[in-house]
């Protein structure tokens, strides 16, 4: 059974600082997704990572995938308050079933 672990589960950081969220998964998969969720809202797709070594960047967020280590990272550069949200990684199991991590609650303090 595929398990997905995120850490940390809660992250409080100052504006302007850098930090990384980690996502480990237990079995082989060729697709990993990062989503953002604001309180009471839906899931917004951030990144789709399809191959080993894939790196994608959008604004202050950069995601990478190491399929051999079964590890993905979401790096936040020079955090701003607008990035405050919950971030989920999700790994695709057989077919297109997504298994989600527990989520990382990010709070950026000004």
Find how far residue 38's CA is from the centre of its chain: 14
Among the listed residues 54, 62, 99, 105, the single contact to other proteins using CB under 8 A: 99
What sign results for the dihedral spanned by CA atoms 1, 65, 9, 88?
Answer: negative
Q: Closest distance between other proteins and the C-beta of residue 60, in Å?
A: 22
The answer to the question of residue 56 lying near other proteins (CB under 8 A) is no
The answer to the question of residue 45 lying near other proteins (CB under 8 A) is yes
Compute the C-alpha angle 45/48/53, nearest 5°.
150
Find how far residue 52's CA is from the centre of its chain: 16
Among the listed residues 54, 62, 80, 98, the single contact to other proteins using CB under 8 A: 98
Q: Closest distance between other proteins and the C-beta of residue 96, in Å?
A: 5
What sign results for the dihedral spanned by CA atoms 77, 6, 27, 91?
Answer: negative
The answer to the question of residue 100 lying near other proteins (CB under 8 A) is yes
Confirm if 99 and 2 have CB atoms less than 8 A apart: yes
The answer to the question of residue 48 lying near other proteins (CB under 8 A) is yes
81 vs 97 by CB, closer to other proteins: 97
Residue ranges in contact with other proteins by CB under 8 A = 31, 33, 35, 40-45, 48, 88, 90, 94-100, 102-103
């Amino acid at each position: 059974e595929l398990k997905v672990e995120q850490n940390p589960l809660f992250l409080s950081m100052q504006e302007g600082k850098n930090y990384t969220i980690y996502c480990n998964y237990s079995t082989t998969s060729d697709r990993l997704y990062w989503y953002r969720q604001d309180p009471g809202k839906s899931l917004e797709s951030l990144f789709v990572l399809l191959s080993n070594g894939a790196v994608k960047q959008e604004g202050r967020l950069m995601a990478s995938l190491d399929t051999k280590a079964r590890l993905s990272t979401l790096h936040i550069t020079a955090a701003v308050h607008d990035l405050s949200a919950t971030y989920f990684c999700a790994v695709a199991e057989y077919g297109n079933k997504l298994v989600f991590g527990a989520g990382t609650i990010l709070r950026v303090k000004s």
